[in-house]
Chain A
Amino acid sequence: MALEKPYKDIPGTTIFDAEQSRKGYHLNQFCMSLMKAENRARFKADERAYLDEWPMTEEQKQAVLARDLNWCIHLGGNIYFLAKIGATDGKSFQQMAGSMTGMSEEEYRDMMIAGGRSIEGNRSIGEKK
């Protein structure tokens, strides 16, 4: 019997479950390596060469090079791991989160100051307008 995944109907959300974790293992472990200053320096010096040291898929490497976090998450990335790329780029968590919403940095920041994204219309895909 397949495992129940009731979270699949939440809009704009990918739950990092065992399936995603398996897909993204090497992508996330690459991110983890950026917690060492010398690795950050080597990555920044030649991103492609550094990525080629990891047994990631070509698509995962392209998603990292494009800094497309939604794409990275689709390919098994987890935000807490992906945040190491943002940190390496000198980005804040707010900049990273905002980059996935289609909003500009200012629009996202203003939305948060105004109380954040409303839950109304965002509970399930069926509810979403």
Chain B
Amino acid sequence: MARITASVYTSHVPAIGAALDQGKTGEPYWQKVFSGYEFSKAWLRENTPDVIFLVYNDHATAFSLEMIPTFAIGCATEFKPADEGWGPRPVPVVQGHPELAAHIAQSVIQDDFDLTIVNRMDVDHGLTVPLSLMCGQPQAWPCPVIPFAVNVVQYPAPSGRRCFNLGRAIRKAVESYDAPLKVQVWGTGGMSHQLQGPRAGLINRAFDNAFLDRLIADPAGLSQMPHIDYVREAGSEGIELVMWLIARGAMSDEFDNKAPKVAHRFYHVPASNTAVGHLILENQ
């Protein structure tokens, strides 16, 4: 049977992708960001899964205002990097895993989560920047990826509680897949940031670090936090952090009470407008 081996959490700031693509990683400003991922790149080489289930949000790229799915699962064989207005990022095409994706969709929908099934979409920086941070600049990504897009563009995003419970349902789905695959679940976006209005540039270190502490030790309690607290304390775009709860809900301590191992933790301000947070949790 397939199993979830670890979860990875990271911000997905577009400027990080631009810094990589334009060869600016050695600049002191960016060095401080990328230094937090040196461990992670080595870790991923040692712990390459068979599939990454990558939770992210589409930034008005694949989904315009014509359709706004709350949860969308990518079931295609491949996903091209999107042109977000600057031209597509020069990164590899993302290979999907249609069999596992379809299996998860069927299982999770029957578990009462209404996913939208997407058979064609381009993927934006929300998905490709985490891959770049964790893999560097390879010719091909190290394994297939199932993109899982969450609406955080038009209010309301799904609640933290619903995201956390969805993670649990995803775990059940993966564990009922009849092939010995190692799967990682990645939760991306955040941490505190606000990109709009006179309050743009908001950063809240205390909130972010408390969020990391609780994500590790008290995720069920953290999942009860209402939307308004994210928006008020972590900025209008800080609401992206609900996506981290999907990955956290998929970890095994929610089932067997064995706390995950914190393999890596990193926090840095700023990357462009954003506080960068990063965690790797391994199932014991």
**A residues touching B (Cβ–Cβ < 8 Å)?**
6-7, 10-18, 21, 25, 28-29, 31-32, 34-37, 40, 69-70, 73, 78-81, 83-84, 86-88, 92-94, 96-98, 100-102, 108, 111-113, 115-119, 122-124
**Chain B residue at minimum C-beta to C-beta distance from A4:** B228
Question: Could you tell me if B199 and A35 are in contact, using CB atoms closer than 8 angstroms?
Answer: no
**Chain A residue at minimum C-beta to C-beta distance from B125:** A93
What 4 pairs between A and B have smallest CB-CB spacing? A116-B203, A87-B85, A12-B199, A12-B198
Question: Could you tell me if B272 and A93 are in contact, using CB atoms closer than 8 angstroms?
Answer: yes
Question: Could you tell me if A84 and B202 are in contact, using CB atoms closer than 8 angstroms?
Answer: no
Question: Could you tell me if B84 and A87 are in contact, using CB atoms closer than 8 angstroms?
Answer: yes
**Chain B residue at minimum C-beta to C-beta distance from A40:** B85
Question: Could you tell me if A28 and B60 are in contact, using CB atoms closer than 8 angstroms?
Answer: yes
Q: Which residues of A contact B273 (CB under 8 A)?
A: 93-94, 97, 112, 116
Main secondary structure on chain A at its contact with chain B? Answer: helix
- Contact flags (1/0) for B161-204 with A, using CB distance below 8 Å? 00000000000000000000000000000001011111111111
> Chain B: how many interface residues by the 8 Å CB criterion?
47
Known: A28-B64, A116-B275. A97 touches B201 (CB 8 A): yes
**Chain B residue at minimum C-beta to C-beta distance from A26:** B65
- Contact flags (1/0) for B225-236 with A, using CB distance below 8 Å? 001100111001
Question: Could you tell me if B200 and A100 are in contact, using CB atoms closer than 8 angstroms?
Answer: yes
How close is A29's CB to chain B, nearest CB, in angstroms? 6
How close is A105's CB to chain B, nearest CB, in angstroms? 12
Give bound CA distance, A17 to B203, whole Å: 23
